[in-house]
Structures are given as C-alpha cells and as structure tokens.
Structure 1
Amino acid sequence: MSYTVSQLLTQDITFQPLEIKGWVRGFRSNRFIALNDGSTINNIQCVVDFENTDEAILKRITTGAAVHIKGELVESQGKGQKVEIQVSSIEILGDSDPEEYPIQPKKHTFEFLRENAHLRTRTNTFSAVMRLRSSLSFAIHKYFNENGFYYMHTPIITGSDAEGAGEMFRVSSLDAKNPPLDDHGNVDYKKDFFGKETNLTVSGQLEAETFAMSLGKVYTFGPTFRAENSNTSRHLSEFWMIEPEVAFMDLAGNMDLAEDFMKSVLRYVLEHNLEDLEFLNKRLLDEEKTKPQAQRSEMSLIEKIKFVVDNNFKRVSYTEAIDILKNSKPNKKKKFNYIIEEWGADLQSEHERFLVEKHFKCPVILFDYPANIKAFYMRLNEDGKTVRAMDILFPGIGEMVGGSQREERLDVLKEKMKALDIPEEELWWYLDLRKYGTAVHSGFGLGFERLVMFATGMGNIRDVIPYPRTPQNAEF
C-alpha cells in the first residue's frame, strides 16, 4: 500500500509492507536516505541495504532525486526518529544531476531562493510557509461558508479605480507601436477591445457591494494588482485580497465580524499546522539571537498568534489614538521616525505597533478616521470631518485589516465624488445602489499575503507568495 510521509509518522502501521514516493533531502554513509514528500515538515529515514543494492543505483541517490521506495516500517534503532523504513527495493524516478541541483543541504539566502522559486519549496522553510498559506486559505473559505456568506468572483478586468490611486495596469489589445488616435491626438480607446480604457483591478469591493445589496452577505477572495513602483519588503504588484461585504451592518457590526474572523482563521492554523509553526517559531528565535538586544522581538511567532487569538481587541477612536501618540515618550523624545504633531496625521507602522505592543498590549481597532485620508466610499460622520472607517492593528506588523461602513446616502456620495473629480458616469451602477433600496452596509479588506506574513513570521512579502511579481520581475 502507498503512504505519505505524514501518514507513516502519525499512524500505527509498523511491520507492514508499504510503498512511498518522495524527494531525497539527504543521503549519508551510502545507507541512510532522508525522504520528504511535502506532506509534513518532517523527513522519514529510509535505510538502504547497500550490500544488496546495485552500485549504479546508489550513485544516483542524490539530493533532489525523486525515488519510489518499497519496504517495511519498523521501529528505529537510531536516535532522532521513532520509526524508519527498511528498504527492500528502490527505483530512481527520472534524472537528477547532483552537481547542478541548486538546493543543496546547506543554508541558502532568501534572495538566492527567490531566484530559484520553482525549487524553493523543497526547503523546510518554504514548504512550511506554503502549507500554512494553504491552510489559511481553507480556513477563510470555511469561516465564511459556516457563517452564511456567498463567495463572489468579481471582475479582474475593470473600467473603474476603486481606491482612486491611479496606479493600475492597463489592459489593451491595441497595437502598442501604432495605436489609433482620436481628433485630439490621444489614444482612441473606443477602438480598443472593450471600447473603453480598462485596467487590472485593485479591489473587488465595489462589485461585491452590488451583490451584498441583494444577497445579504458575500465575500471575494481573488487576485488584485497595483502598478506601484515600490521595491519594499511589504509591496507586491500582484497579490490576493479577502473582501467581505454585508448589508444592514453598521461599523460596530463590521468590527465584530472582523475580530471574530481573524481569531477564527488564526486559531485554525494553531490547531492544524502546529508542527510547521513550531519549526518557523524556532527559525525566528534563532534569527533573533543574532540581533542586538534592542532590536529583538518581545514575543515569539506562536506567542504573537496567541496574542491575537486570546485577547479582546481594544476599540479606540482615531482622535484618542492621536492624543496617546502625541503624549507618548517616543514622540516627545523624537524617537519616532514620523513625529505626531497634530490631528489629521496619517499613522505609520511605528505608531500602530506602539499602540498595540506598548500602550494597550492587545490588538487594537482604530475607528473614525479623518475623511481626507480615507477613500470616497466611506460613510461620513455627523461631524463632517471623520468617516466610519476602521483599521485593525496587530503586533509586529501594524495594520492588518482596513474597512468601513459604506456611504449609503446618494447626495453625500455624489458630493464626495465631485470633490475628488470622480466622474459619475464611470460609477453610475455604484450610484444606482443608493437610488434603489439603499441601506446601511459595511465591509473590510484583508491582504492575504500580509496575513501569511504574520502567521509565518516571514519578513519579506515576496517569500509568502509562490511567484512574486514586483517591479522589473515577472520570472516564472
């Protein structure tokens, strides 16, 4: 019978004939194979009878080789493992060049592994990261399915800019060297494939709102794109977004939903991916030891996750947060890179982390932000200067979730669009929601890769997505 490594290490099936296939992680003394098939962070030791194994086969058992092993699972005689496979036969699958195989059993830099992203999941770190990414994805769908949400596939090609940022990738079938021009000498997009200028989406939110206003509770989970020329450790040009939208829900309900959702998906990986988390936790602890004392994190990876799962999120208005930050020691002593001087400042990661890690010592939800630093679709408060927005702040990373109660009043929404030079004809269908059966509704957005960074402790967003897309990089 054929098994996975995970099954062999967790089930009581010793002294039974078996088959297993996987990749060689190491081969020593011409006898001991460390085998892994991706089902677990752990390898299983396979003991070869080298005296009765063809020498030509032994020479081909190299790091990276794919093998098909038959044998028997027995109690291990050596240290480091409870069981091992006594090999009765071994078949090398395909070719393997030990001199050219780049992922050797030694420490590689993450930069080198990004250059070999097609093979980097052969390492313990990246196999653990991608298993966690898969589990988080499943947990997200599971949560929404169990809570009565419908999954929507919103358009990837769009004619609107939901965020108003303007940093979008153009979609066109026109001849790049000789596009048709209109009477004013501009590119005539009426002759393009869609008859208008179109782009890759930056968000599925606006379309999701249309479904929420008929189906009640919906969510999107799909790819989004930003043409921002940024090479930081927190930016990608292609990434995935989770965006629930709920009809008849106000800002308080939105905060309740987001807190329960975040706790649920992180609790899931604590329960189902503990081995991977323990490996990544140890990796980070070892990394922390190399840093100066002042730069070391106060919490381990698993402690950070439990910090979110086990604590109630503190709800604080933006105005209260500004007062706290203005009077804080780091601000007064000018330790912040961005000094908080007055109400209206756009908070940076250092401010958000101070509130979570130093002041409140729990996850924080900030709400009622200044209108001029938030998007046009957020519900204007009665004071005329703040909107019913919310951001959820986590330790070690700052902002994790951004959301709001949406502006349901047609006249107010039109005024806000006019002030920002957003043409009504571009979003006529969005305005229709405010004409026909308008109602209070809310939602939020979560960048999936940012969540994976938090759950794995990886410091660069390029290391939590299979094939990162960044400026000047579209390899693989």
Structure 2
Amino acid sequence: MTSSTISDLLSKQNTLQEVQVKGWVRTFRANRFIALNDGSTLNNIQCVVDFENTDEAILKRITTGAAVSIKGTLTESQGKGQNVEIQVTSLEILGDSDPESYPIQPKKHSFEFLRENAHLRTRTNTFSAVMRLRSSLSFAIHKYFNENGFYYMHTPIITGSDAEGAGEMFHVTNLNLKNPPLTETGEIDYKEDFFGKETNLTVSGQLEAEAYAMSLGKVYTFGPTFRAENSNTSRHLAEFWMIEPEVAFMDLAGNMDLAEDFMKSVLSYILKHNREDLEFLEKRLLDEEKTKPQAERSDMSLIEKINFVVENNFKRVSYTEAIDILKDCKPNKKKKFKYIINEWGADLQSEHERFLVEKHFKCPVILFDYPADIKAFYMRLNEDGKTVRAMDILFPGIGEMVGGSQREERLDVLKEKMKALNIDEEELWWYLDLRKYGTAVHSGFGLGFERLVMFATGMGNIRDVIPFPRTPQNADF
C-alpha cells in the first residue's frame, strides 16, 4: 500500500477507505489517541489505537518523537477540531524516541532553546510553517524568473574580488596557517596558495551576473553569500542567500518596474498556496504583540502587511524629496527618532524608512537617486555629479527590502570612481572589459532572501528563518 501524506488525508472527503501514513508522534493520550504529524501540514491526524488488541510492548514504545507507520481505516472523526481520523488496524515502530531526553516536548519552548536544537525545531508548528513558506518562496522566485525569460546562473562562491567594497569577507586558503610561506617583506605569500592569489567567500554574485547579462540579456542568481561582520543583531547572518537579477538594456525605471512586479508576484504566490501556515503565523504574531507596550505594536497583522505590498502601487520618491519630508516631520522635529535627520547626505535608518512607508505615504516606497558617497562604486553617476541611479524598496515593518541600481556603463566614469575608492583596476580587469566591448545601459537589484522570509512569516529574528544559522561564535550542526 502506498503511503499518503497527512495533508492529503485531511483533505479527503471519502471515508471508510484503507490508508497508510508515516510520521512522528506528537502526543499519545490514554494509551489510545496518537496525534501524528509528517511535516506536510500544520495539522496532526488523530490515529485511534485499539489498545485491548495491541501488544503492550508496542504501546510503551509509542512516545513523543517516535517515528511510526500506521495502517487503518479513514473514518469520520468523533472528536472536535478534525473531520477525519484513522482507526488503526496495524502499527509499526520505525524509530524509537527516548521520552526522558527528547527536547521537543508538547509544550511551549523559547526560540533560543529551539536554536540550540535546530536539527529538531521543525517538529514544532512554528518552524515547520516557516520552512514550508521558505520553500514556497524559493519556488515562486524561480517560477517568476523562468516565466519572464531569465536564465538562472550559478555565480562563484570563491572569489578574488570584493563586490561591495566592505572588506568583511571570509578568507579561503589552503596554506599551512601554522607555518605559511612568506614574502621577502614578511607578508603571507599568497602566490603559494591553491589559487595563486588571495581569495574569499563571495558577498555577492552581482558582478559576475553583469557579465552574463551582457551576453544572455536577462539572468538571475539565487545562491549563498557570506559576510564576516562581527554582529550579533537579529538581522545579521554570516551565511545567507541572495537573489540578484541583472538585465541588459534596462534603465532604472525598468529596474523599478521589474522589482515591483517580482515582489508582488512571489508574495501573491504564498497568499494563494500557503494560507494555512500564514494564518497560523499571524495568530502567533498577534499573541506576541499583546505582550508588547502599545507604542511598539504593529498597526497591521501579518497577512495585512503582505496584502499591503501586493495591492498597493509602490510610490517612487527621490532621496532628496524623502530627506525634505523627514526633516520636517513631527518625529524628527520632536526628536522622537533615534537618528535625527539634519541634512542632505544622511544614510537613512530603518526608523526613517518605516515612517515613509507606514505613516507618510501609506504604501510601499521606492527611493531613488541617492548620494554617491553612501552607495557602491558600480552605480551609475547622475549628471549632477553627486547622486547615483540607485534605488531601495521599502516595506512596512522592516524597512529596506530590495537594493539595486542602474549600473555604470561608461568606462571612463567607472575608472574614475574606482580610482577615488582605491579599487585596483587589475583586480577587476574583466569587469572593465564589459565597458570596452559593446557596453550598454544595464540594471539589476539584490534581495536578501532571509529578509523576505522574515517579512512573509513575521519572525523577528533572522536566525529563525534559515535552517542552520551561522553567526559569530556559532557554526553548530
């Protein structure tokens, strides 16, 4: 007999059929009622054991966390909260669980405790819902780009360049760290290393994606990236995933159109396909909000936030206009902001971004034409000589969601910008080649996948939306 998923069984209308299901015991009550879950849905299916005709040794082995295979008859449920249940005819223990040491007991656990047991935390409703949503968002992303003529490319994980210029990169080496080869000046001689040069784990696949866009037209990357930033905040990971489309012959306006359509598409997908998980996480978030002071509570529920993005046109506002709005707003004048906006050129913080979205415009916002001094070298310089064709998309509750730009396609301008920032031309000779041989207007953006999953699930800590978080002093599992 072929096993069914619990999700399928709970949706069946026809009862009195023989079924088989495999999963993990959530609870076992009165030597009779097994609540079984297999990860396909939030909901357990109740399996009713005929304890009088079941071996007592088997009954003792039915404990929380045990893996079991059950055959029986799907019947209309006599209890509340479920339409069907299984009257068990045979039961096999596939894997025992020690009830004394099993960490995921049927009670409320702190997220900190569950991070310490990340290998088992998806056996809780919260984390199974989060990871199903993560999977659906991944699929929706690939689906969108595939349906819109993009080619999926795998950019290098090991790189010799620092795309962001931040310098916070993990080194990759095959040298003997106890006795590395040295140059005549006493520095490590990376010519003796595996790649013959100093290499790192990538912080972005953008530069390589630009190369492919300038021959294939429309490409995107979706892969792991790394940053050695010694930060323990709720928004930082050392290993995370990035989505980065790059498109030839597309200017900043086209980039904004693409990013808005993309975000609405992937969020619409989960509204349609993950409603049960979203409703569960929304209730969890509402319960959490009740414990916060009134001033810190969100004005919108989880599903309202997602609909807020899907149903509203994104307002396009220049950085200069946004600064004027922020300088004159009440929170700034009354010094309610943690970071007071005094002058043009300030780097906007999450509190400023959220004010623009949630209080002033009351819709998602795309800010564009940022000061060149606070943006990356590869962004196209505007005619005013002080701003670049950058854009950031701002969402409620989280602030910046997407960052992108029209890329600098002029060789002379790009060289000047690199020189001003002490970026070695020899290191990026191939990137400069793109401006020598058939240069053209092109644009792209980056989206931190975990940030999107945080927004879509309402989780407050980025460590809770990736299977095994990598953070300072933590590389368990």
* Bin for the TM-score computed over the shorter chain: over 0.9
Paired position in structure 2 for 1:376 = 377
Within 5 Å, give how 1:82-231 maps onto structure 2. Answer: 82-231=83-232
Paired position in structure 2 for 1:451 = 452
Tell me how far apart the structure 1 counterparts of residues 132 and 116 of structure 2 sit (CA, whole Å): 21
Tell me how far apart the structure 2 counterparts of residues 300 and 180 of structure 1 sit (CA, whole Å): 58
RMSD of aligned Cα (Å): 0.5
Residues 346-383 of structure 1, C-alpha deviation per residue, up to 9 Å, x if partnerless?
00000000000000000000000000000000000000
Paired position in structure 1 for 2:334 = 333
Letter matched to residue 119 of structure 1:
L
Residues 244-286 of structure 1, C-alpha deviation per residue, up to 9 Å, x if partnerless?
0000000000000000000000000000000000000000011
**Segment of structure 1 superposing worse, 288-297 or 440-449:** 288-297
SS in 1 for 2:381: coil
Letter matched to residue 473 of structure 1:
N
Within 5 Å, give how 1:15-30 maps onto structure 2. Answer: 15-30=16-31
Letter matched to residue 145 of structure 2:
F
Tell me how far apart the structure 1 counterparts of residues 463 and 27 of structure 2 sit (CA, whole Å): 27
Tell me how far apart the structure 2 counterparts of residues 127 and 54 of structure 1 sit (CA, whole Å): 32
Letter matched to residue 126 of structure 1:
F
SS in 2 for 1:17: strand
Paired position in structure 2 for 1:426 = 427
Tell me how far apart the structure 2 counterparts of residues 337 and 124 of structure 1 sit (CA, whole Å): 36
Letter matched to residue 6 of structure 2:
V
Residues 280-321 of structure 1, C-alpha deviation per residue, up to 9 Å, x if partnerless?
000001111111211111000000000000000000000000
Q: Please list every run of at least 4 consecutive aligned residues from structure 1 whose deviation after the TM superposition is greater than 6 angstroms.
A: none
Q: Any stretches of 5+ residues in structure 2 without a counterpart? A: none
Tell me how far apart the structure 1 counterparts of residues 227 and 289 of structure 2 sit (CA, whole Å): 32
Paired position in structure 1 for 2:293 = 292
Count the aligned residue pairs. Answer: 476
Residues 10-66 of structure 1, C-alpha deviation per residue, up to 9 Å, x if partnerless?
123311111100000111111111100000111111111111111111111111010
**Segment of structure 1 superposing worse, 436-445 or 50-59:** 50-59
**Segment of structure 1 superposing worse, 232-241 or 285-294:** 285-294
Tell me how far apart the structure 2 counterparts of residues 235 and 407 of structure 1 sit (CA, whole Å): 29
Tell me how far apart the structure 2 counterparts of residues 423 and 336 of structure 1 sit (CA, whole Å): 39
Tell me how far apart the structure 2 counterparts of residues 66 and 423 of structure 1 sit (CA, whole Å): 57
**Segment of structure 1 superposing worse, 52-61 or 396-405:** 52-61
Letter matched to residue 13 of structure 2:
D
Paired position in structure 2 for 1:272 = 273
Paired position in structure 2 for 1:467 = 468
Alignment partner of 1:400 is 2:405: no
Residues 62-95 of structure 1, C-alpha deviation per residue, up to 9 Å, x if partnerless?
1101000010100011111111000011111122
Letter matched to residue 447 of structure 2:
L
TM-score (norm 2): 0.99
Paired position in structure 2 for 1:356 = 357
Percent identical among aligned pairs is: 88
Letter matched to residue 264 of structure 1:
S
Letter matched to residue 304 of structure 1:
K
Paired position in structure 2 for 1:415 = 416
Paired position in structure 2 for 1:50 = 51
Paired position in structure 2 for 1:34 = 35
| 1:207 positional shift | 0.1
Paired position in structure 2 for 1:66 = 67
SS in 2 for 1:181: coil
Tell me how far apart the structure 2 counterparts of residues 79 and 275 of structure 1 sit (CA, whole Å): 18
Within 5 Å, give how 1:232-247 maps onto structure 2. Answer: 232-247=233-248
Tell me how far apart the structure 2 counterparts of residues 151 and 82 of structure 1 sit (CA, whole Å): 43
Residues 397-453 of structure 1, C-alpha deviation per residue, up to 9 Å, x if partnerless?
000000000000000000000000001000000000000000000000000000000
Paired position in structure 1 for 2:322 = 321
Tell me how far apart the structure 2 counterparts of residues 415 and 265 of structure 1 sit (CA, whole Å): 39
Tell me how far apart the structure 1 counterparts of residues 273 and 36 of structure 2 sit (CA, whole Å): 22
SS in 2 for 1:243: strand
SS in 2 for 1:326: helix
Alignment partner of 1:253 is 2:254: yes
Paired position in structure 2 for 1:12 = 13
Letter matched to residue 444 of structure 1:
F
Residues 104-157 of structure 1, C-alpha deviation per residue, up to 9 Å, x if partnerless?
000000000000000000000000000000000000000000000000000000
Paired position in structure 2 for 1:283 = 284
Residues 158-208 of structure 1, C-alpha deviation per residue, up to 9 Å, x if partnerless?
000000000000000000000000011000000000000000000000000
SS in 2 for 1:240: strand
Letter matched to residue 421 of structure 1:
N
Tell me how far apart the structure 1 counterparts of residues 230 and 361 of structure 2 sit (CA, whole Å): 35
Letter matched to residue 71 of structure 1:
G
